[in-house]
């Protein structure tokens, strides 16, 4: 028997069907899982928290988090691909910032949750 053959007795079939209809698509769930995977790295979190303070060039972020420029560039590539940070170029210098206010909100809510009293 595989999982698709399972049919457990339910107390509220109407409610089950409503919830099933409202579940996000597998594609959206995969995208959300990838978002949390990217956010699940402590180095990337340090970078994002740094960028909450405003726009920084890569060298300044490298100094804040104590990493090499090449390591920071690698992290920025992943963060940009996930649309967590954006960049702009001014002359030869690239400046990075959070992509939008949602990123700040996600970080704030997550910290609120882990710091709350039991």
Q: Average the pLDDT over 12-22 and give the result.
A: 90
User: Which tens digits make up the pLDDT trace of 34-86?
Assistant: 999 999 999 999 999 999 999 999 999 999 999 999 999 999 999 999 999 99
Q: Which domains does the chain have, with CATH numbers?
A: 12-115 (1.10.10.10)
**Pairing assessment for the beta strands 56-57 and 85-90 based on DSSP bridges:** unpaired
Torsion sign, CA atoms 86, 39, 60, 113 = positive
pLDDT at 9: 73
pTM of the predicted model, to two decimals? Answer: 0.81
pLDDT at 1: 45
Q: Kindly report the average pLDDT of the chain as a whole number.
A: 91
Compute φ and ψ for 66, nearest 5 degrees. Answer: 70, 45
């Amino acid at each position: 028997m595989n999982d698709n053959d399972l049919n457990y007795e339910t107390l509220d079939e109407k409610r089950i069907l409503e919830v099933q209809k409202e579940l996000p698509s597998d594609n959206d769930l995969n995208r959300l899982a990838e978002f949390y995977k990217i956010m699940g790295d402590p180095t990337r979190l340090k970078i994002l928290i740094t960028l909450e303070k405003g726009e920084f060039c890569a060298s300044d972020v490298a100094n804040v988090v104590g990493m090499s420029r090449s390591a920071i560039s690698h992290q920025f590539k992943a963060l940009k691909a996930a649309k967590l940070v954006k960049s702009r170029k001014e002359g030869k210098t690239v400046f990075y910032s959070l992509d939008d206010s949602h990123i700040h909100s996600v970080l704030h809510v997550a910290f609120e949750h882990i710091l709350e009293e039991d």
